Structure 1
Amino acid sequence: MGWLLALFIFLLLAFLAFSAFVGYKMVKPPRLIGDWTPRDLGFDYEDVTFETGDGLRLSGWWIPNGSERTIIPLHGYTNSRWNDLYMKPTIEFLLREGYNVLVFDFRAHGKSQGKYTTVGDRETEDVKAAVRWLRENRGEEAKRIGLIGFSMGAMVTIRSLAEIPEVCCGVADSPPMDLDKTGARGLRYFAKLPEWLYIFVKPFTKLFSGGKEVHPIEYADKVKKPLLLIAGEKDPLVKVEEVREFYERNREVNPNVELWVTDAPHVRTLKFHPEEWKAKVGEFLRKHL
């Protein structure tokens, strides 16, 4: 019987070690760094850095466009400002619409400092740092500030509307509402691992990153600024029903919340329906920004 106990202990330790490895990889994403710049879109820009409240230097671009309105696009988990799927076309769209753009890499992504992502917790501090930089350095060009977030960036958009006074409106494209559900689905989506493993991985993600859980659904009663929610019926990470629940709750306190449901997968409405996306988002921004 002694060998059975030894085998059990070995398998248990191996399982915990594997769970720890998966948790580590989840909070330390690969860094996406590209070679294009706003100049490739026909616009001059400045490389900028600014510091978060917890001492990290974030890297980004300031793209002035002669406006008093500035929009900050926020990328998703494992991506950066160089994302070609939605960040590059969004930046170009906003510039063509006449807005100034400040775009940066979240902590632990792109060229920004930070060892671990907290997937929506401390990333709100990153947006606060960006807004503070705008107010201190480009005040006349940032009299109105809006956000457009994708996936993790959409989570942060929702939190920012509730927590950052200077942000006046936001677009949340494919926002996870329950991080546990989306995290479990993400194991299957990103790593081809079973969803049930998440319950064992989750403690290690919190241990490594030091972040706390963020569930945007908890902000449904707190957001009272204009918000456009975009959800896709083919999204494997975020269910339309979860976004709709937020919408139904939020509209009880927020007359300026909108929900647009498409047939697209995660953060791909802009790819599959570019003209509709631009028309819908453009109208929302013109109305509220």
Structure 2
Amino acid sequence: MNIFIWLIVIVLLVFVLAIANSARLVIAPKRQRLWTNPKQELGLSYEDVEFPALDGIRLKGWFIPAKSTPSAVAIVLHGWPWNRIGTKANDFLGDLPGSKPINLFPLTKALHEQNYNVLMFDLSNFGESAARIPVTYGLFEKHDLLGAIRYVKSRTEVDPNRIVTVGFSMGGNTVVYTLPETTDIKAAVAVQPNTSSLFGERYRTDKYGVIGKLINIPIEILYRLFGAPKTAYLQPVYAAFGARNTPVLYVQGTGDKWGSVADVASMVAATPNAVEPLYPETDHRFGAYQYVVDYPEQVLTFFKECLG
């Protein structure tokens, strides 16, 4: 009998810990510290910059000037729960369990070599930027990107008519949510954007099995208690309908157990000027992120076609 009771206690403890950890990640993840910079990693000169989001939240990042200016600018948006560099995926308390390391600097280098200015910055609640709790997976983070656009347009190095964006995961969502709000973005790449409720359900089922399905409701309740909208309302596909004439390239890995090809395909269908999407063969969600980092030529070609 005592063994049976202890088993129940252990199961309940695992259940509570799973809820607590998942809720923390959803509401306000532990921040990842910056572990390098463009000079150390790429030998590139850069400027530490700080600017306000459209709603006043202070954001921090790096501005890497092009070889010759004025020139186009690429704004790179990281995923969740990363920072402007990517993720080391080595912090049990700070990373999404099951994550793999991603370093965005090779993409930065490729953009710089094609004479782009590059802005890499931490979205609100991540890295060194100020907090806007809870995280809303692009819905309110669009204010960050709109602030970044306003900032780069103020710089003499930037051609204000040649602004492009690349967003990963939550950063991809942010791009999609931002497109109806501005005509300044001339081309956008969204790498594995997702419907938050679908992602959450698929992720927890993959990582926790049956327990994952049971914890969805308490996590939703905790998320709402922190002032968040229902996750069912976080639907980037509806924002995609308002993307106007901005060309958008979507990228989604075929082996992503957390996201969904069908989910991204619905965004492609909704986006007025979506180009042929990329569906690289992968065996993990992080495979498509790595694909874009390893093969930036397709992104560069897309931008070149859009900018001329």
Q: Normalised by the shorter chain, which TM-score bucket?
A: 0.7 to 0.9
How far does residue 60 in structure 1 lie from its aligned partner after superposition? 0.2
Count of residue pairs the alignment pairs up = 273
2: CA distance, partners of 1:143 / 1:249: 25
Q: Does 1:101 align with 2:118?
A: yes
Q: Which of residues 127, 134, 140 is equivalent to 1:110?
A: 127
How far does residue 287 in structure 1 lie from its aligned partner after superposition? 0.6
Name structure 2 gaps, 5 residues minimum. 1-11, 88-101
Name structure 1 gaps, 5 residues minimum. 1-11
- The change in CA–CA distance for 1:282 and 1:61 in structure 2 (over 3 A counts) is same
Q: TM-score scaled by structure 1?
A: 0.84
Q: Which of residues 200, 215, 220 is equivalent to 2:240?
A: 220
How far does residue 43 in structure 1 lie from its aligned partner after superposition? 1.2
Query: SS of 1:69's equivalent?
Result: strand
1:244 match: 265
2: CA distance, partners of 1:25 / 1:269: 22
2: CA distance, partners of 1:73 / 1:191: 32
1:69 match: 72
1:87 match: 104
Query: SS of 2:154's equivalent?
Result: helix
2: CA distance, partners of 1:273 / 1:128: 24
Matches within 5 A, 1:1-289: 19=19, 22-40=22-40, 41-65=42-66, 66-67=68-69, 68-83=71-86, 85-114=102-131, 115-138=133-156, 140-176=158-194, 178-188=195-205, 193-210=211-228, 213-224=233-244, 225-250=246-271, 253-254=272-273, 256-264=274-282, 265-269=284-288, 271-272=290-291, 277-289=295-307
- The change in CA–CA distance for 1:21 and 1:161 in structure 2 (over 3 A counts) is same
- Give the conservation status (yes or no) of the 8 Å contact 1:220–1:246: yes
How far does residue 190 in structure 1 lie from its aligned partner after superposition? 6.4
Query: SS of 2:118's equivalent?
Result: strand
How far does residue 209 in structure 1 lie from its aligned partner after superposition? 4.9
**Could you give the per-residue CA deviations for residues 71-110 of structure 1, whole angstroms, max 9, x where no partner exists?**
0010001001121614222212211222100110011100
**Could you give the per-residue CA deviations for residues 133-163 of structure 1, whole angstroms, max 9, x where no partner exists?**
1122347444311110110001111122222
What is the Cα-based RMSD across aligned positions, in Å? 2.7
1: CA distance, partners of 2:292 / 2:130: 34
Deviates more, 1:156-165 or 1:57-66: 156-165
How far does residue 20 in structure 1 lie from its aligned partner after superposition? 6.5
2: CA distance, partners of 1:93 / 1:54: 32
- The change in CA–CA distance for 1:220 and 1:35 in structure 2 (over 3 A counts) is closer
How far does residue 223 in structure 1 lie from its aligned partner after superposition? 1.8
Q: TM-score scaled by structure 2?
A: 0.79
- Give the conservation status (yes or no) of the 8 Å contact 2:152–2:158: no
2: CA distance, partners of 1:202 / 1:158: 23
- Give the conservation status (yes or no) of the 8 Å contact 1:145–1:166: yes
- Give the conservation status (yes or no) of the 8 Å contact 1:122–1:211: no
How far does residue 272 in structure 1 lie from its aligned partner after superposition? 4.8
- Give the conservation status (yes or no) of the 8 Å contact 2:27–2:226: yes
- Give the conservation status (yes or no) of the 8 Å contact 1:60–1:103: yes
Amino acid at match of 2:303: L
- Give the conservation status (yes or no) of the 8 Å contact 2:54–2:147: yes
2: CA distance, partners of 1:38 / 1:182: 32
- The change in CA–CA distance for 1:287 and 1:100 in structure 2 (over 3 A counts) is same
